[in-house]
């Protein structure tokens, strides 16, 4: 017998063509024998329903919708123990490609196969995140492990990555299951041609792996985008939850 499943549908999945795809998903779920409670946003108290389903034996929770909506569930996911997570995407995205999950009913067979990878979840000011935290231009001070710090001489992009993805291909740019975060600093470097005729500005990349860090900007507010959500604070503390999410992945995933 397959381990018990529960399904959470984004509200958008009940409308138009998405509603038809939802019907195809449910037919494939039934055919493969991985049925379970179905909770739809707008129709159910979803978190209460999930808690009840888990108490009744559901060990696999599948989120059906857009990747941005799925990332909003990361705080809830990080608090669960002994649960496997599946993401069944409504449309292609870097995250769906990275996980090797096709859209709609085509992904149901992958859910049934239950090939798993254990992935880390990052923390920013105790708020869980899955992909990365990005500041577009900053020379803020980034302190590691409370022992040493770096600061860009010239303002440039800074990212704190857990599971960073190439925005077009979905290729993993950081290791999502190594128990560490990675700071990526891009520093503008001006290079002069051989004859000194022209100058070209390039970005030099520096990567630093760490488990605990702190970002501050001399008491000034910082804005940082985390899993697509904008946060503002004078200081951001980073940490990592190693192996916090057991996730179903497909054979075409873009990481080991």
- What pLDDT does 154 receive? 85
Residue 1 has pLDDT above 60, yes or no: no
The per-residue pLDDT for 186 is: 84
Query: What is the reported pTM?
Result: 0.91
Strands 84-89 and 60-65 turn out to be parallel
- The owner of tokens 């696999």 is 60
**pLDDT tens column, 59-107:** 999 999 999 999 999 999 999 999 999 999 989 999 999 999 999 999 9
Long-range contacts of 145-148 (CB under 8 A, 24+ apart): 145/210, 145/211, 145/212, 145/213, 146/212, 146/214
Confidence at residue 194, expressed as pLDDT on a 0 to 100 scale: 60
More confident residue, 3 or 238: 238
Residue 74 contacts residue 21 (beta carbons within 8 Å): no
> What is the pLDDT at residue 122?
98
- The pLDDT of residue 33: 96
pLDDT of 40 higher than 80: yes
Angle at 108 between CA 106 and CA 112, to 5 degrees: 140
Residues 120 and 242: their CA atoms lie apart, in Å, by 5
Cα-Cα-Cα-Cα torsion 153, 157, 162, 167, nearest 10 degrees, comes to -160
The predicted pLDDT at position 79 comes to 96
Condensed to tens digits (0 to 9), the pLDDT of residues 207-217 reads 999 999 999 99
Residue 198 has pLDDT above 90, yes or no: no
Lowest-confidence segment of 94-108, 128-142, 154-168, 191-205 by average pLDDT: 191-205
The stretch 173-199 carries a mean pLDDT of 81
Is it the case that residue 159 has pLDDT exceeding 90? yes
Q: Tell me the mean pLDDT in the region 36-46.
A: 89
């Amino acid at each position: 017998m397959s381990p018990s499943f529960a399904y959470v549908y984004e509200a958008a999945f009940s409308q138009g063509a998405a509603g038809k795809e939802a019907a195809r998903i449910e037919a494939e779920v039934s055919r493969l024998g991985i049925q379970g409670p179905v909770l739809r946003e707008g129709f159910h108290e979803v978190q209460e329903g999930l808690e009840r389903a888990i108490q009744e034996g559901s060990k696999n929770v599948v989120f059906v919708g857009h990747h941005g909506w799925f990332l909003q569930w990361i705080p809830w996911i990080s608090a669960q123990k002994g649960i496997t997570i599946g993401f069944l995407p409504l449309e292609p995205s870097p995250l769906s490609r990275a996980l090797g999950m096709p859209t709609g009913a085509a992904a149901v067979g992958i859910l049934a196969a239950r090939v798993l990878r254990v992935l880390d979840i990052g923390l920013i000011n105790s708020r869980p995140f899955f992909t990365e935290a990005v500041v577009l231009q900053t020379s803020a001070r980034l302190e590691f492990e409370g022992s040493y710090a770096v600061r860009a001489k010239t303002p440039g992009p800074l990212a704190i990555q857990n599971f960073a993805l190439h925005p077009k291909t979905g290729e993993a740019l950081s290791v999502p299951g190594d128990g560490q975060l990675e700071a990526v600093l891009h520093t503008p470097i001006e290079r002069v041609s051989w004859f000194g005729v022209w100058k070209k500005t390039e970005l030099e990349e520096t990567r630093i792996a760490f488990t605990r860090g702190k970002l501050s900007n001399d008491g000034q507010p910082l804005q940082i985008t985390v899993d697509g959500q904008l946060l503002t604070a004078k200081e951001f503390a980073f940490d990592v939850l190693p192996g916090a999410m057991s996730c179903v992945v497909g054979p075409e995933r873009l990481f080991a």
